[in-house]
Amino acid sequence: MANLNCQKPRSFRAFIIAKYMQDDSTPCEIQKGIYLGSIGAACNKVALQSLNITHVLAVAYNVEIPFPNDFKNKNIEVLDSPDVDLQQHFGVCFDFIDEARRQGGGILIHCFAGRSRSVAVLVAYLMRTYEMALSQALELVKLKRPKASPNIGFLRQLQTFECQLACAKIARSEHSLAMER
């Protein structure tokens, strides 16, 4: 793990983190209690606490958790690369988001830039939880965070996930019809 100190930049990577802390440090509320942001938002303890964020989901590679003792944290270590299988982590991410909501807290979902990995996870969550189409979920996220832009590989996985959700819905309907007979 890289040593991430949210206060003092020591390397080029830390310099970029400091830039996000300056330019992109406010979590964007996408749905009630569900926030999206960059590493800058994850390093903004005052904002996290003021928004009642109790859980922080990092979908990033080689990023140390900024406040391990102040929030419930989960880190999904993945690169922002089109060939990465992000979908395999959806279940764990959904469970963590649902836990935050059940406990009455808010959740910040972030990656490094708050553009691709975290957006893809949140879009998948919205599709599953609110039965939104991919286009609908992505439009909602982009409306609130215009820089949202999952990479092409993650978009393909979201399309596959959309088909899986539709197939599961059809199977449930058919099962319900069969049970009524």
Query: Exposed e or buried b for every residue in 30-41, given b needs 16+ CB within 10 A?
Result: bbebbbbbbbbb
Which of 6, 111, 163, 167 is labelled catalytic? 111
Cα–Cα distance between 88 and 157 in angstroms, integer? 10
- Would you give the DSSP letter of residue 56? E
Q: Is 159 exposed, middle or buried (0-12, 13-18, 19+ CB in 10 A)?
A: exposed
Question: Which parts of 17-146 are beta strand (E)?
Answer: 28-31, 34-37, 53-59, 72-76, 106-110
Q: Are 128 and 31 in contact (CB under 8 A)?
A: no
For the question of residue 111 being annotated catalytic, the response is: yes
Q: Are 116 and 149 in contact (CB under 8 A)?
A: yes
Q: Which residues are catalytic?
A: 111
